[in-house]
Amino acid sequence: MPYYIGDVIRKAEDLIARTPGQFAGSNIDVFTGKAVESIDTEGGRVKTSDGAAVPYDNLVIATGNRAIRPDIPGAYLPGVFVLKDLSDAIAIKRWLVEKGCRRAVIVGAGFIGVELSEGFRRRGLETTMLHRGRLPVARFDDELSRAVRDELVKNGVSFVERASVTAVEGGSGDELRVVTEDREYAADIVVFGVGVKPETTLAREAGIAIGPSGAVKVNFSQRTNREEIYAVGDCAEAYHRVRKDWVNIPLGDIANKQGRVAGANLGGSPRTFPGIVGGQSFKVFGLEAAATGIDEREALTCGYSPATHLMWGTFRTPTLEGEANMGIKLVADRSTGRLLGAQGISNVGAVSRINTLSVCLWTAMTLDEIGYLDLAYSPPYGGAWDIIHRAAQRLLRDL
Amino acid sequence: MPYYIGDVIRKAEDLIARTPGQFAGSNIDVFTGKAVESIDTEGGRVKTSDGAAVPYDNLVIATGNRAIRPDIPGAYLPGVFVLKDLSDAIAIKRWLVEKGCRRAVIVGAGFIGVELSEGFRRRGLETTMLHRGRLPVARFDDELSRAVRDELVKNGVSFVERASVTAVEGGSGDELRVVTEDREYAADIVVFGVGVKPETTLAREAGIAIGPSGAVKVNFSQRTNREEIYAVGDCAEAYHRVRKDWVNIPLGDIANKQGRVAGANLGGSPRTFPGIVGGQSFKVFGLEAAATGIDEREALTCGYSPATHLMWGTFRTPTLEGEANMGIKLVADRSTGRLLGAQGISNVGAVSRINTLSVCLWTAMTLDEIGYLDLAYSPPYGGAWDIIHRAAQRLLRDL
């Protein structure tokens, strides 16, 4: 596929430049290149980097999160990146082109690292992934994580387990060397994908309450402990309907919904945010990976009595649309029979199953009920008993 | 793709022949080639075609349904088929091969006819579909049915609307002529796909209650009006959770579930069948078609106050996995805000959305809640607001 990187960069930069203009003629003033330095909650003003004080009746904190750069030498060298927002993406792409990169090192094997490795491989880069753990995508069961690792390796990613990065060093010219406890890896570009932290400095300094997750504490209308101040998105907590607890899960769909809830309340249409169940998906080359709810460790922490079963199987007639091979793991509570979580990896169909099961979690459905759900059966897409029926019935026998 | 029709036929025939043997060594006696002619409910016996009387304590009626052959001359000529069960499929395939068929006429444009047309076109047959209505797959909104028709035509099916078939005539050799009010269509094979009727003769003659749908009336444990007699599958009714009424929807997944419920009750493990929501899907060449719940006509009949909206859109980032174009129609009740039904047509993703919405119907969810469901978002598979979020929010504005 053609990949006009120059065009992509120009389009993205153009998008950023045009943003303020899109609000021209409305009542909305948009300022860019102007950092908020503090919130004066008593005076109802925010102070900006150019010394101005902007008054507010209501304030929405949407400061997002920041990608973590580990506290090691060389973490900020030119050619060393994180991937959090559009400007990071632009910077990475520009570096790839300008330096004619051929070797990439990705530090971390979460879903950002995994997705990025596909992008690098598609551009033909030698790609090495250094991971401090044994298997990628920690949220998943080891058996499913192994399938992800095998898919990475099959597609030419050199996956290094138990790699502890201690420094990045500049080499001759633009060459970088990523140093681990065991050896060094030469690279033309290095990207850290080792997690994110909610960006709460402004809120914290203004005395706004922070929840146990480290993100801004909000209620169902997205208000903070100060009624006139809202917080939304990656910097804020969200109610988890399975944990029955407040968490910080930085995903764009949650941020969008919270933003709309805050906006509705600000605009005078009361609305509450109904919470999340932890649905998430990503693509790793030829595989769909998706998960929802909680795993057995989290379930124990919450006070549930988890039982789990992991099943491999197909769910459609292979003669029609080709094989569908899926690993699906369910977690349920022994005391109530309710589903608590699900994970799926498949060449096709995993996201679909996890979405269906997310609605089951949303309504606190039992395995017994899931085993008899009416789904849109036909052989190219599912069996008379779909794999989620079978997985639910199978785990139910263990409860 | 290679298509070893001889192998397929042999495999199917072998499967049928082996069925009795699979129960050898169990307590189950399987008789084939032996028709039950009547049920003696007072004596607790069934009478078979060979004059035997088989006693029972419990009886399960699983007589299925029969495909309708219209009452017109020539409906039973050699080369004229219906497609209901494995033996029909074998007979059709055998005829295709033995007669070297090149021209097929399908009468009817329901999902059986549509699926069959794809099979015929894959074998390279000139395929004509004669339909008494204007558009195929009556369950769907006209706008979506048009997309199905266009896909048929695009793939070489000659679709004839408003065709009223009055006779099938034998011609020279094996040639058949399908006669409509307007003209004649020459064919080497003719298949009627004009609907099915529950096969209830035995039950009816034994005085077992038949429901208003024409199928055997059952309760939640699959018992008929006689406690010792069960009925399951296409010959029986099922509780429709949206209609709150008993219906006959002949689909294999419902039959499987009802069979298991009856079996559990017979085996001493009480179980009830939780009902259906009307989920259904089929493939038409490059399109997924799926529906669930009820449409606005059915909704009116039930006493709901339906509102509908049909939206076309995409739901994933086209640069990653290619375009996804989907038409989605939602039906909701104005008085409660609840979803009542959904239909989707897409090159990809329709079945997935309809399954998710089937769970929403199962739990009587409102549009407002659907608009904020937590799904497993990532750009290759969906948007931060998925098309089902957007469709629900859009229809909600009309309520």
> Which CATH number fits the domain that encloses residue B157?
3.50.50.60
DSSP-derived 3-state class of residue B295? coil
Q: Residue A30: which pLDDT band, with cuts at 50, 70 and 90?
A: confident
CB contact under 8 A, B384 and A253: yes
Question: pLDDT higher for B38 or B6?
Answer: B38
CB contact under 8 A, A376 and B384: no
* pLDDT score at B1: 32
Which has the closest alpha carbon to A60: A255, A281, A270?
A: A255
Ramachandran assignment for B195, one of left (phi > 0), alpha (psi -120 to 50 degrees), beta (any other): left
Could you read off the pLDDT of B143-182 as tens digits, one per residue?
A: 999 999 999 999 999 999 999 999 999 977 889 999 999 9
Whether A242 and A161 share a structural domain:
no
State the best of A338, A374, A386 to mutate against chain B, taking most chain B CBs within 10 Å: A374
Domain contains A281: no
Tokens linked to A335 = 């005391």
pLDDT at B174: 85
A352 in reach of chain B (CB within 8 A): yes
Q: Which helix (H) or strand (E) holds A260?
A: helix A252-266
Residues 173-212 of B with CB under 8 A from A: none
ipTM comes to 0.93
H-assigned helices in B128-251: 142-154, 201-205
> Do B189 and B205 fall within a single domain?
no
User: Quick check: B3 pLDDT over 50?
Assistant: no
Q: How many CB atoms lie within 10 A of CB B390?
A: 16
Residue to substitute from A247, A251, A277, A359, interface B, most B β-carbons within 10 A? A359
Contact A253 B375 (CB under 8 A): yes
Q: Higher-confidence residue: A28 or A118?
A: A118
B360 and A355 within 8 Å at the Cβ level: the answer is no
Task: Point out the domain boundary residue: A194, A223, A242.
Answer: A194
CB pair distance less than 8 Å for A290 and B256: no
Q: CB-based burial of residue A158 (10 Å sphere; 0-12 exposed, 13-18 middle, 19+ buried)? A: middle
What integer pLDDT is reported at residue A2 of this predicted model? 34
Does the CB of A355 have a partner CB in chain B at under 8 Å?
yes
Angle in degrees, CA B260, B266, B268, rounded to 5: 105
For residue B251, the chain A residues in CB contact (below 8 A) are 377
Contact in structure between A310 and A373 (CB atoms under 8 Å): no
Residue B5 touches chain A, beta carbons under 8 Å: no
Which among A251, A375, A386, A389 is the top mutation candidate for probing chain B, defined by the most B β-carbons within 10 Å of its own β-carbon? A375
Beta strands (DSSP E) in A193-269 are: 196-198, 229-231, 238-240, 245-247
User: Is the domain of A248 the same as that of A148?
Assistant: no
Question: What pLDDT is attached to residue A58?
Answer: 96
More confident: B1 or B169: B169
Structure tokens at A108: 């971390």
Is residue B140 over pLDDT 80? Answer: yes
CB atoms B380 and A291 under 8 Å: no
Structural domain count of chain A: 3
Q: Give me the residues paired with residue A339 across strands.
A: A332
How many CB atoms are closer than 10 A to CB A84? 18
Same domain, B97 and B140: yes
A240 DSSP β-pair partners: A245, A276
Q: Within an 8 Å CB–CB cutoff, is residue B320 touching chain A?
A: yes
Averaged pLDDT for residues B372-376 = 97
B148 and A CB contact within 8 Å: no
pLDDT in tens, A256-310: 999 999 999 999 999 999 999 999 999 999 999 999 999 999 999 999 999 999 9
Considering only residues 277 to 296 of chain B, which have any Cβ-Cβ distance to chain A shorter than 8 Å? 277-283, 288, 290-292
Judge whether A174 and A86 are in contact, CB under 8 Å: no
The answer for A 25-54 residues in CB contact with B (under 8 A) is: none
Residue type, B384: A
Give the H or E element holding residue B392. helix B387-398
Token look-up 């690792």 returns A149
- At A247 the three-state DSSP class reads strand
Q: Cβ of B130 under 8 Å from any chain A Cβ?
A: no
Please report the residues numbered 241 through 260 in chain A whose beta carbons come closer than 8 angstroms to any beta carbon of chain B.
241, 251-257
Q: What are phi and psi of A174, to 5 degrees?
A: -90, 5
Distance between CA atoms of residues A272 and A250, nearest Å: 19
CA distance B320 to chain A (A): 10
Q: Do B359 and A354 touch (CB under 8 A)?
A: no
| B352 contacts A377? CB cut-off 8 A | no
Asked whether residue A1 is assigned to any structural domain, the reply reads no
A277 domain residue, yes or no:
no
Tell me, yes or no, if A338 comes closer than 8 A to chain B by beta carbon: no
pLDDT reading at A4 higher than 70: no
Q: B273, B261 in Cβ contact below 8 A?
A: yes
Nearest CA in chain B to A279: B376
Could you tell me which chain A residue has the CA closest to the CA of B322?
A: A1
Mean pLDDT check: name the lowest of A10-14, A103-107, B136-140: A10-14
DSSP string of A6-61, one letter each residue:
HHHHHHHHHHHHHTGGGGTTSS-----S--EEEEETTTTEEEETTS-EEE-SSEEE
Taking the CA of residue B179 and the nearest CA in chain A, the distance in Å comes to 33
Asked if the model's pLDDT at residue A3 lies above 90, the reply is no
Which of B274, B280, B378 minimises the CB distance to A369?
Answer: B274
Nearest CA of chain A to the CA of B385: how many Å?
6
Per-residue pLDDT for A97 more than 60? yes
Contact B355 A354 (CB under 8 A): no
Structural domain includes residue B90: yes
Question: Has residue B127 got a pLDDT over 50?
Answer: yes
User: Is B382 an interface residue toward A (CB < 8 Å)?
Assistant: yes
Q: Is residue B111's pLDDT more than 80?
A: yes
| Residues A363, B358: C-beta atoms closer than 8 Å | no
Closest CB to A373: pick one of B283, B362, B376.
B362
How many CA atoms lie within 13 Å of A210's alpha carbon, on the beta-carbon side? 16
Average pLDDT over residues A158-164: 97
**What is the average pLDDT value for chain A, to the nearest integer?**
93
Distance from CA of A177 to the nearest CA of B (A): 31
Mean pLDDT within A310-321: 80
Type of residue at B111: F
Pair B162, B268 in one domain: no
Whether residue B352 lies within 8 A of chain A, CB to CB, comes out as: yes
Q: Are residues A189 and A225 in the same domain?
A: no
Decide if A5 is inside a domain. no
Q: A377 touching B, CB under 8 A?
A: yes
A372 CA: distance to closest CA in chain B (Å): 7
Residue in B with minimal Cα distance to A284:
B380
Same domain, A135 and A38: no
Lowest mean pLDDT segment, chosen from A167-176, B20-29, B125-134, B285-294: B20-29
For A52-90, write each residue's pLDDT tens digit. Answer: 999 999 999 999 999 999 999 999 999 999 999 999 999
* B79 plus B158 within the same structural domain: yes
Is the CB of residue A2 less than 8 Å away from at least one CB of chain B? no
Domain housing A84? 69-194
Q: How confident is the model at residue A12 (pLDDT cuts 50, 70, 90)?
A: low
Residues of A whose CB is below 8 A from B280: 376-378
**Phi, psi at residue A387, to the nearest 5°?**
-60, -25
Which residues from B are below 8 Å from A316, CB to CB? none
∠B177-B181-B187 over CA atoms, to 5°?
A: 15
Identify the domain boundary among B196, B226, B246: B196
Question: Of B196, B230, B262, which residue constitutes the final position of a domain?
Answer: B196
Q: Is residue B35 in a domain?
A: no
Residue located via tokens 């400007």: A87
Return the residue of A nearest to B321 by Cα.
Answer: A283
Q: Are residues A247 and A227 in the same domain?
A: yes
Residue B113 token pair: 């006819």
Distance CA B360, CA B339 (A): 8
- Angstrom distance (rounded) from CA A203 to CA A61: 8
Q: Indicate if the pLDDT at residue A320 is higher than 70.
A: no
pLDDT single digits (tens) A339-378: 999 999 999 999 999 999 999 999 999 999 999 999 999 9
Inter-chain contact B384–A256, Cβ cutoff 8 Å? yes
Chain B contact probe: residue of A139, A260, A355 with most B CBs at under 10 A? A355
Residue-wise pLDDT for B315-357, tens only, equals 777 766 678 899 999 999 999 999 999 999 999 999 999 999 9
* Facing residue for B369 by CB, picked from A256, A274, A278: A274
- Does residue A366 form part of some domain? yes
Looking at residue A9, its pLDDT comes to: 65
* Residue B285 and residue B388 share a domain: yes
Residue B257: its chain A contacts at CB < 8 A?
Answer: 372
Compute the distance between CA of residue A123 and CA of residue A134 in angstroms, rounded to an integer. Answer: 27
Q: Are residues A177 and A262 in the same domain?
A: no
Report chain A residues whose CB lies below 8 A from the CB of B377: 251-253, 279-281
Question: What's the pLDDT tens digit per position in A180-229?
Answer: 999 999 999 999 999 999 999 999 999 999 999 999 999 999 999 999 99
Q: Is residue A22 included in any domain, yes or no?
A: no
Q: Closest Cα of chain B to A250: distance in Å?
A: 12
Q: Do B362 and A375 touch (CB under 8 A)?
A: no
Smallest CA–CA separation between A179 and chain B, in Å? Answer: 33
Q: Would you state the structure tokens that stand for residue B240, as one six-digit string? A: 């429709």
Residues B306 and B257 in one domain: no
State the CATH number of the domain containing residue A293: 3.30.390.30
